[in-house]
Amino acid sequence: MTNWERLVWNQRDALLAGLHVTVEVCMIAFALAIVGGMLLCLVRMYVRPLRPVAIVLIEFFRATPILVQLLWVAYAWPGLFGWPDSFFAAAWTALALQSSGYLAETFRGGIEAIPKGQREAAYAVGMSPPLVFARVVLPQVALSSAPSIVNQFTVIVKSSTLVSVITVQDLMFQSQKIVNIWYEPIEILTATAVIYIVVIFLVSVAGKSLADMLRRRYGIAAA
């Protein structure tokens, strides 16, 4: 029996279970980051009384290392707010907070890049501001920001390797557990790296394909 068979193939159930947790954490964090990023962006741009608050939050989320945010949410928040009640929830919360800061600036750049005349033309034909945002602004922001959004998802995947620090049993946690049992890190850590590379590659390809499809559908040339 080779080391690859003993350390990787025979441990595939543990690795797949860890990968499943990684995917769950990343998907939840990404969805919340998009919502949170858009809310922060809109507050910063259109809600003048709360603009300083939004700016502080955006800069705080962007400037704080993800490890610090993970530990802060996992160990400080329960005492301060009574939540989260699990390390799993703390993991996706911290990842979502950091990415929401970056996505807020991505969305703001996309909105500011839209010519003012488009919105004025929409208002001229009787469209309300919410309808203008939903039908004129938002689709263009989504298309122009697609590469940055996909890139942020890959950042979440890579940052998720740190959630094992707070005992979330993700792929990295399972990998380290196997290493600590056998004390032969080369094969298992190499296999783990390959899995992450494949996941990030698939995310990048899927994101680019989706963006190109939407650009063709709505008549916007691919960048």
* Alpha-carbon torsion (111, 113, 116, 118), positive or negative: negative
Q: What is the DSSP letter of 50?
A: G
Residues 6+ apart with CB under 8 A from 141: 107, 110, 111, 114
Structure tokens given for 28: 């939840």
Q: What is the pLDDT of residue 88?
A: 97
* d(C-alpha 177, C-alpha 164), whole Å: 10
Closest CA to 157 of 60, 39, 33, 73: 33
If DSSP codes are grouped into helix, strand and coil, which group holds residue 178?
helix
Q: What is the DSSP letter of 73?
A: I
Q: What is the DSSP letter of 164?
A: G
Q: What is the pLDDT of residue 171?
A: 96
**Domains in the chain, CATH or no CATH each:** 3-217 (1.10.3720.10)
Give, for all 223 residues of the chain, the pLDDT tens digit. 587 888 788 889 999 999 999 999 999 999 999 999 999 999 999 999 999 999 999 999 999 999 999 999 999 999 999 999 999 999 999 999 999 999 999 999 999 988 888 888 888 888 888 898 888 898 888 888 888 999 999 999 999 999 999 999 999 999 999 999 988 899 999 999 999 999 999 999 988 888 777 777 765 544 4
Q: What is the pLDDT of residues 111-130, one digit of tens each?
A: 998 888 888 888 888 888 88
To the question of pTM greater than 0.85 for the whole model, the response is yes
Q: What is the DSSP letter of 127?
A: -
Q: What is the pLDDT of residue 147?
A: 86
Q: What is the pLDDT of residue 2?
A: 81
